[in-house]
Every structure is written in structure tokens, then in C-alpha cells.
Structure 1
């Protein structure tokens, strides 16, 4: 038994060394790929197509009005419908939308207030209730915490024009809106998640579909079954992308960044948010998720010090330098400092803890509701499980 434990310790020790070393190489290479990917971006001319922008809303987020206004302030020559959906008549987001309509009287801003539930996902219920009011043939869905640049629609429409493209999605950088913990979350999504995302897209290893932008024609939306098909999906964005691929169409990710606003005001809120992300990705792409540990060389290098302190210390130093290269590259590309280096390094530690915990999670929190994860990415609300148990 002692011999087996010693052998296991040796294997794990060398594994941490190898993973940390590969992680240092990966971060450095990913920073270079990131810079080249966005350096290749070109301006897109204004377009004339009629577009419906679909916005499911819930609550008054810190900069909700600014986020929504950025979708109206587009360099776009055609009609734009901003379609907002809310599920409660007492939701403070209603006042935000009404104020936006008053501030932009010439804009086509429609508000749907409908609490009808169609499945476990409140967001999808909201979208299903809005779907009949979509006016135009190009549909662009995005989360309420997304803000965009004036050329957003021009870039989206140009990408959607490409042969065999059925859906367009966008890479996003983090933006902290409510103090320390929101900046902490923005550091993680910008210096870890976004980096890996661009690396996968640039090297044709992945073509993700994300809630930051899901743009398609209304005909494509009809062909994939409308929003109703995804009413019990936690990773509804991923499921929509898969449905589009089933049609033989492709997903395009243009070299353009949008902002994803973080509004967490506590460690607990951020932990729940990121744990939901981790568990969701684990369920829809298990083996790629296992491999993302390579993007966290610092925590792994610290573990390697338990086996070989000298080598582990060297790897820690190299991991810090690699993360510094990432931070500077991302900041230069985005055009602002998202978070300090020490915050990026600290978030590596939190990400490692989230990574481990995510393999043991079977239920997640979503806007105060507990959702139990089932097979094939399905979710069931906790109250439905309780009712089923009572009937049994």
C-alpha cells in the first residue's frame, strides 16, 4: 500500500509539473494569437437591413439604460426594432425601458410584459413570449448585460452574409460595474475565458455560440424550432448553436469585442455565477472542459511545489510572467485596463477552486431560482421536483 501511494504521489507530482509547464506555453501563445486575431479586424460599412434586437430583461442592473442605449446608437441606415421582454409588472426594468423610449422618441422600442411560463428557464419563457412580436427578418438576441460599439450591427450583418453562415456570435470582455467583486469577475472573463475562446476560434478548434450575441434570420430561427425548443435548456445559447449546425449551417465569430457587465457585490454572488458557468460548460462539453486546466498554470505550479519545490517555484515565476503578458495584451486590445495583474492572479486561484467544485455540482442558482441539471443539458426547477416527489 505504501508503495502504491508513493507511486501515485510521483505520478501526480509529475502531472502537475507537466500541466503547469504546458500552461505557461499556452498562455504565451494565446496572448500572441489574441493580438493577431483582433489586429486583423477591418471596418464594416453601414447597412440598410431591417433588424430586430431582442432583449430579455430582469431587474434594474446598474448600467442597464446605458447598455440598451448602445444598441440604439448604431451606425445603421435601416430600421431597428428594440424588443424588450419583462415577466413581472413590478419589475424595475420597466421604468428603465420607458425612460429610454422618452429619451429616444424616434426609436422603435417595444416592450412586452408577460409572465407566462413555458419551461424551467425563465429567460426562455421571456423570449418565447416576445417571439410573436419580432418584426424584421434579421434577429439579434443578446443578454441585458451586454454593451456594444456603434459598428456592432455592421460587423454582425457582414459576418451573417458569408456563405453557409447561419448564426453569428461575439467574443466579450468583462466590465466591472459595482466595485471590487464585479471587477474581480471581469478579470476572470477577460484574462482567462476570453483568451481561451479566441484561441479556439482563431485555430478553428471551436465555433461557440454565446448569449453575448446570437444573430440569425427569422427563417433560421423558425427552422430550428423557435425559442420554444430550448425552454428547458440551461445552456440555451449552446443548444441554439448546435441546432443551427444540425441544419448544415456554420457559426461565425467576427473579430469584434462587446462588453459584458458584471454587477456582483459579494464573493458569494460571484461564486454562484461562475460555478453555474463552470457546471454548464462541463455538461455540454465535458472533455474540452477537463482540458481548460491548462489555462491555470499558477495554481497547478503551486501544487507542484509539494512534489519538487525548486521546479515548482520556477514554474510559479514563469506563470506570473505569462499572465502579465496576457493582461497587457488584452488591455491593449480592449483599449482600457480591465483589472490589475494581482487581481488576475488571484482570480486564477478562484477559477481553480471553481473548476474542482464544478465536477460535483448537480444544481445551480439562476436569478434566485434553484435549477437541477439533468441529462443532455436539460434543467428542472426545484419546485417542480418537489411537486413530483409529493405526487409520488
Structure 2
């Protein structure tokens, strides 16, 4: 009888260990640097070595179980044949099947041992199949890592470079607040809820009213341009405009207009407004400056008499009185000096030659000459029609 036995937890432990042998490849290993890629290569080699060790150990167990199974099967066959040939109880049975059954019942211990060894052999064969599959998977991962190394070298050849990003670091998401900020806000709200605020009931002191008014004025000054302070007194009513009637006397023809002085100009408008009205935002149209009383014999020089009507006679004669409307140009006492004439660069002979040369007329074609003659005849007829 074989003394080799297998722990029932051995198979479960091996299956669990094989399931944990897995390596996740990065989509882009270049930002993490070559160390991370090197670590994955070393980890895959370590897993593959462990898988090979488990495979060797399981193969050793399987070979021992198969050897014991063959030994027990041989002993069972010899014992059974011995009973069928020499045991009187077994030989007393009538049929062959009855004799076989009687011999098997006498050798049931050996039959159970053979059955146990067969079960162990089947389990170890299944375990070796799983180990082979995991070994092939780890070798495929090693091949993928070699492909990533080659692709990274191609990227570096195109101008990229290795990065230094921390492996496993979660990318920052600014749209989601961190738990620390939320905790601080919750603590602040809790502290504010515990404190009690007592507000005064009744009239507000004058100091607080002034502070609130200053604060509102400051806010309004920032939002809009400052406006003049309004007086406490009520605005005065706007006075009615003052009209001044001016009598205009006809000016003799020989009169010469004189430039009026600034003090004699009459401006129609409204009297000056008080400061309160100006402060209220009302715009005054003009300030009235009333001149001294006018003498009837001297009309204001700023007003001109109306011009006499024009008459359209056949002889196109103008009225003699109309000559006094506008003053005659007076000769200045001293003539202005003439500008200095710069000396020319041409000689006197060149000047005489230029003045003596006559401009030759440009020859005209038949159609252009006819048009020029018709234009000249029309000008002559138009001139003669006025005489």
C-alpha cells in the first residue's frame, strides 16, 4: 500500500495563486518612464518562474501517484487471481461473475487504494493543464512588453521622450471638490449654527444710519459717476424767459457798418438760476445780459436794413440806391510788401527762345473738326441772342 498522500488544500492554494498571476499593461507606458516598464518585465519573469516551479512540483507528484497506482493495480490483480484459483469459498460460487464478486469483496481495501490513487492522478493532470495555460499567458505578456519597448523606441525616434508621471496617481478633476474642502465647509456651517446672533429691536442709532448712508454712497460712486449734492431746500420754480423788443430803424445808404462790441450784443434767454436749481440737475439755457437802454436815434449796428427788391428790366440796369448796401473797398494806407522773387536757373536766351516759340495747333480729324465748328457757332449764337 502506498503511503504518498496529497493535502486537500494544496490544489485550492495552487489555483488561487495561479489566478493572481496577472499583469496589466499600460495603454501608453511612455509617460511613466522606463522604470515602470522594467518593473513589469521583472514581475512577469517572477510570475513565470513561480509558475514553472509549481508545474515542476505538480509533475513530480503526478509521476509518484502514477507509479503507486500501477503498483497497487498489479497487486490487486495478483491477489484476485489467487483467490479465484485457491480460495474454496470463492470457488464454491456457481458462476464466474459470482466468483469475481466474492474475490473483490475480500480485496476491497486494495480496491479503495487503487481508486484513491486514480483520483489523485486525475486531479494532478487537471492542475498541470491549468499551469500550462497560465505559463503560456505569462509568456504572451512578456512578448507584449517587448512590443511596447519597441514602440516606445519608435516614439522616441519621432521626437517624444520618457515621462516621470507617478504610477497609479489619480488625475486631478477640478470639477469635483475634494473631501477636505467639503469637510471644512460643513464644519463652518455647524459652527455658525451653534452661535446665536442677537439683533437690536427698535430705532436704529444715528451713527449706524450715517454709516449705512456712506456705504450706499460709496457703492453708488463706484457704479455710477458722482452727482452733485442736493440742497435740503425745495427747488425754486423756473422763471419765465424775458423777451426784449428792439426797434430797427432804416440805415442810410452811405452808412458804413461798424463791428459791434461785445458789451452791446443782446442775448435773449433766461435769467440766472439759483444754485439750488442747478444742483437739482436742471440745465439753464443761457444767462441773460441786458444791455443799457437803446437811444431811438441810434439803431443797433448789428442789425442791417432789408435789401431793396431786385427789378428785372430789359436793359438789366441796377438801382443806384443799391450801391450803398455794401461799403466800398478802402485803399490801405500802406501797400503790403511784395514777396521776394528767387533768382531763376535759366539764362535769358532760353527764356527768349521759349517766349518766341509759337504753339502749333493740334491737327483735328474730320469728325472732331466738325464738332469743334458746331460748338463755336453755338457759342456765337448764344452770345448774340443776349444783345
Smaller-chain TM-score range? under 0.3
Q: TM-score, normalised by structure 1?
A: 0.20
- Where relative contact order (Cα < 8 A, 6+ residues apart) is larger, the structure is 1
Q: Which has the larger radius of gyration?
A: 2
